[in-house]
Amino acid sequence: MKRVYSCTIQGKNDCVEMTKEEASIIALKFGGRIEMYDMTERHGIRPAYLKKALRHEQHEWEKRNASFSKGIKVGSFGGAAPVDWQFDDLINVKIGDLNG
């Protein structure tokens, strides 16, 4: 069953749909360099609620190509970086590539 995980890597954050097994693989890959929380368990957020494409279309920072780091600027939790991760992106990315 797919769940929603909030993933923060090197200051960039996005919610990603994954199974528990996929989340475990990502946690092993990134080790201590990832903060990951099961938002389905914590807050009852289901993948059907995400509507990521619509969310990204509506936000002005996407249009301005701005970027925010966790803990700086927008929102009490540090805002959001305009990223759109999927499990395949996280499993295939090289950790150094996330710096840019």
DSSP conformation letters of 47-63: HHHH-HHHHHHH-HHHH
pTM of the predicted structure, to 2 decimals = 0.70
Containing structural domain, residue 29: 3-99
Query: Tell me: the pLDDT tens digits for 57-77?
Result: 666 555 555 555 554 444 444
Query: Tell me: the pLDDT tens digits for 10-50?
Result: 878 888 999 999 999 999 999 889 999 999 999 998 988 87
Length of the chain: 100
Residue type, 25: I
From 84, 57, 82, select the one nearest 67 (Cα to Cα): 82
- The domain total for the chain is 1
Query: Which residues lie below 8 Å from residue 17, measured CB to CB, with a gap of 6+?
Result: 2, 3, 4, 5, 47, 50, 86, 87
From 12, 41, 11, 29, select the one nearest 87 (Cα to Cα): 29
